[in-house]
Structure 1
Amino acid sequence: MAVVAPEDDGGAPVAVREFDAHSERDRAAVERLERACEVGPSGGKLCLFTDLLGDPLCRVRHSPAYLMLVAEAAGGPLGGAEVVGVVRGCIKTVACGRGSNLFSKVAYLLGLRVSPGHRRRGIGRSLVERMEEWFRQMGAEYAYVATDRDNEPSVRLFTARCGYAKFRTPSVLVHPVFRHDLAPSRSRRIAVVELAPRDAERLYRERLGDVEFFPRDIDAVLSNALSLGTFLAVPDAAARPWRGVDAFLAAPPESWAVASVWNCKDAFRLEVRGAPRLWRALARATRAADRALSPWLRVPSVPNLFEPFGMHFLYGLGGAGPAAPLMARALCRHAHNLARAAGACVVATEVGACDPLRAGVPHWPRLGAEDLWCIKRLADGYGDGALGDWTKAPPGASIFVDPREF
């Protein structure tokens, strides 16, 4: 059923309805809208454009339940309705963190876009409110959204107009992929072991199952075709010989780290816009030097990010012990080599503000972003236990970022 959006300027009414995945008209209209909306801070900074490779549902279709809504305004180019807004939403069950063993049904809002010519007319708020109605119908107890910390209009929409509260401040860390491989460990004292999906699931559930936002259906994530594998970094002596995950869980080494790799390249592509000519020239120069001097000097180079490029995402990063950051670095370098072989241009991950493994993640600050997660309680259900309302709970050290929603 359509919902009429409020109009502050007396314009034509705007109807919100479900996106029709079988309609070529809807798919083309959403593609045009996505191309008109750049993602990221403006004001002279770099912006990213997302190409969804012909599948507007790609960022939610792997979740247990999902919905996509569009907003239509009358008076389009040919006299008909014009798609001027879009939002996606999905629902899953996640851990509430802090070792509580409590799980909650949580909804995630993403991909909110409003056409530049139709902003400040209440369309974004109407899309959010309509999506929240579906969240409640599906039994979700909380809804959350991620936005760039510097995106003041987006932050204001959710916190001042939609009733969300600032909740967590993770960082998106991005590293370019060079023309040469990286050695996982300079000291050669760290080994990287690939785990089978069932072994990875068991390790995650036993060691990271109480991390905030850990998905209860981690098995579905790990077995997804876009998940390229799970890797465990341990001291070399603990891997030779490797006795299996049972032996590891029974007597883990003092320090270890684990992470999985998700293939975003086959779901969507990105493109950096707004870069000065000087930056483009410098990037070309680093690639030329890398090509001419590799493999001898292995010059760090900036890949071509100014045309559509693919990305790999490192998720489920966790570990323990004083050398865990070094183990995490080995995993990141291993992920870099996988991305290079697959033709991806960057490797990204997202970590909590206080995550001790953050120190081991190699990244280029210019390519990353500081996120803000905002949360809203939709219904009672979290219980009156020790933690009470999750929206008021203090952050833990780590956070689990679901790759299906990145």
Structure 2
Amino acid sequence: MGTEKKEIVGMIRGCIKTVTCGQKLDLNHKSQNDVVKPLYTKLAYVLGLRVSPFHRRQGIGFKLVKMMEEWFRQNGAEYSYIATENDNQASVNLFTGKCGYSEFRTPSILVNPVYAHRVNVSRRVTVIKLEPVDAETLYRIRFSTTEFFPRDIDSVLNNKLSLGTFVAVPRGSCYGSGSGSWPGSAKFLEYPPESWAVLSVWNCKDSFLLEVRGASRLRRVVAKTTRVVDKTLPFLKLPSIPSVFEPFGLHFMYGIGGEGPRAVKMVKSLCAHAHNLAKAGGCGVVAAEVAGEDPLRRGIPHWKVLSCDEDLWCIKRLGDDYSDGVVGDWTKSPPGVSIFVDPREF
């Protein structure tokens, strides 16, 4: 009597979290000005779908998605979404053509190499590192109504992979005068400087490594030459290609925001600071994901050849009920100026 041979031919992973899907007026707030509050929903995320190349086009991916969605529903999820490459036609066809998802948002993934030299942070800017509890206060007060903002932002900021939250302010302001000048996020937002910016850094290197394969020997030699020159003559500040042809790590910049006429320049200074953190951490690149129309993206240095102008997020409504009030169908809402990208899902 023979034994049945079993093998894994496909897998799927998912998670559920509570995020901002809109905003509503706070009718209980006693103020002359309208105050808005975040409107939350339980959102499920398909983290990864893989099917063996030898078992594709047999409906396995479709069955896995349906089983995952059933688990989502059983655990109270109101929406499900998936992020995929815009040119991954097989994935797009599966989710939008067979599983009932609709194209929802097209953020940009911006990637910049980590050079052998440190990048200068503007002398006109002071960078302040916040304690996690202070960072949480800042994000909840100013960014909690941003689409996809996670309600458990405290868990994100206190995660061991979060390397810190940094605020950039003008050096000449009362907040940029040195140690002891930070009054706390609540007071800072009550009396902000003319321009400021904030971002947090996530250490993806300790979770996974990346590698570029298939490059010609000539390209490898050219890349190595740029690194040698950069290390030998760092004062020239020449851009160099990192060693991406062998496993390398990255740092992810998230929670990017700011206000004022010089906010873009403040973001650029924070990105320079993040670059130097990545260099100290032995990373090959730094990355960020922002809404395509976010004006602050102009302050995020990136190489076009390494970046993706349009990542594709697809979404599906799983039920008719909402945990935080009636908002209509989120899948049909127009995109906002910015989104909050959870680093746990990057």
8 A contact 1:228–1:261 mirrored in 2: yes
Structure 1: how far apart are the matches of 2:207 and 2:172?
A: 38
**Which residue does 2:297 correspond to in 1?**
358
May I ask how many residue pairs the two structures share in their alignment?
Answer: 327
1:118-197 correspondence to structure 2 within 5 Å: 118-185=55-122, 188-197=123-132
Structure 1 runs not aligned, ≥5 long: 1-77
CA-CA distance at 1:387 after TM superposition:
4.3
Structure 2: how far apart are the matches of 1:277 and 1:393?
A: 48
**Which residue does 2:160 correspond to in 1?**
225
Partner deviation per Cα, 1:45-93 (whole Å, 9 max, x = no partner): xxxxxxxxxxxxxxxxxxxxxxxxxxxxxxxxx9721112111101100
**Which residue does 1:336 correspond to in 2?**
275
**Which residue does 2:232 correspond to in 1?**
292
Instruction: Report the AA paired with residue 131 of structure 1.
Output: M
User: Which of 166, 182, 202 lines up with 1:262 in the alignment?
Assistant: 202
CA-CA distance at 1:285 after TM superposition:
1.6
Moved more, 258-267 or 81-90: 81-90
Structure 2: how far apart are the matches of 1:354 and 1:113?
A: 31
Structure 2: how far apart are the matches of 1:169 and 1:179?
A: 32
Residue 301, structure 1, aligned to residue 226, structure 2? no
Instruction: Report the AA paired with residue 47 of structure 2.
Output: L
1:49-68 correspondence to structure 2 within 5 Å: none
Structure 1: how far apart are the matches of 2:56 and 2:109?
A: 27
1:3-402 correspondence to structure 2 within 5 Å: 80-97=5-22, 101-185=38-122, 188-238=123-173, 239-241=176-178, 242-245=181-184, 246-294=186-234, 296-369=235-308, 370-382=310-322, 387-402=327-342
Structure 2: how far apart are the matches of 1:404 and 1:240?
A: 34
Partner deviation per Cα, 1:150-169 (whole Å, 9 max, x = no partner): 11111111100110000000
Instruction: Provide the aligned C-alpha RMSD in A.
Output: 1.8
What SS does the aligned partner of 1:82 have?
coil
Are the structure 2 counterparts of residues 312 and 352 from structure 1 closer, same or farther at C-alpha, using a change threshold of 3 Å? same
Structure 2 runs not aligned, ≥5 long: 24-35
CA-CA distance at 1:100 after TM superposition:
5.7
CA-CA distance at 1:191 after TM superposition:
1.0
Structure 1: how far apart are the matches of 2:194 and 2:214?
A: 46
Structure 2: how far apart are the matches of 1:265 and 1:341?
A: 12
Percent of aligned pairs sharing the same letter: 62
Instruction: Report the AA paired with residue 330 of structure 1.
Output: S
8 A contact 1:142–1:378 mirrored in 2: yes
What SS does the aligned partner of 1:273 have?
coil
Structure 2: how far apart are the matches of 1:226 and 1:108?
A: 20
**TM-score with structure 2 setting the length:** 0.91
Structure 2: how far apart are the matches of 1:301 and 1:357?
A: 25
CA-CA distance at 1:277 after TM superposition:
3.3
Instruction: Report the AA paired with residue 136 of structure 1.
Output: R
Structure 2: how far apart are the matches of 1:256 and 1:382?
A: 35
Are the structure 2 counterparts of residues 279 and 247 from structure 1 closer, same or farther at C-alpha, using a change threshold of 3 Å? same
**TM-score with structure 1 setting the length:** 0.78
Instruction: Report the AA paired with residue 321 of structure 2.
Output: G
8 A contact 1:198–1:219 mirrored in 2: yes
Structure 2: how far apart are the matches of 1:333 and 1:244?
A: 25
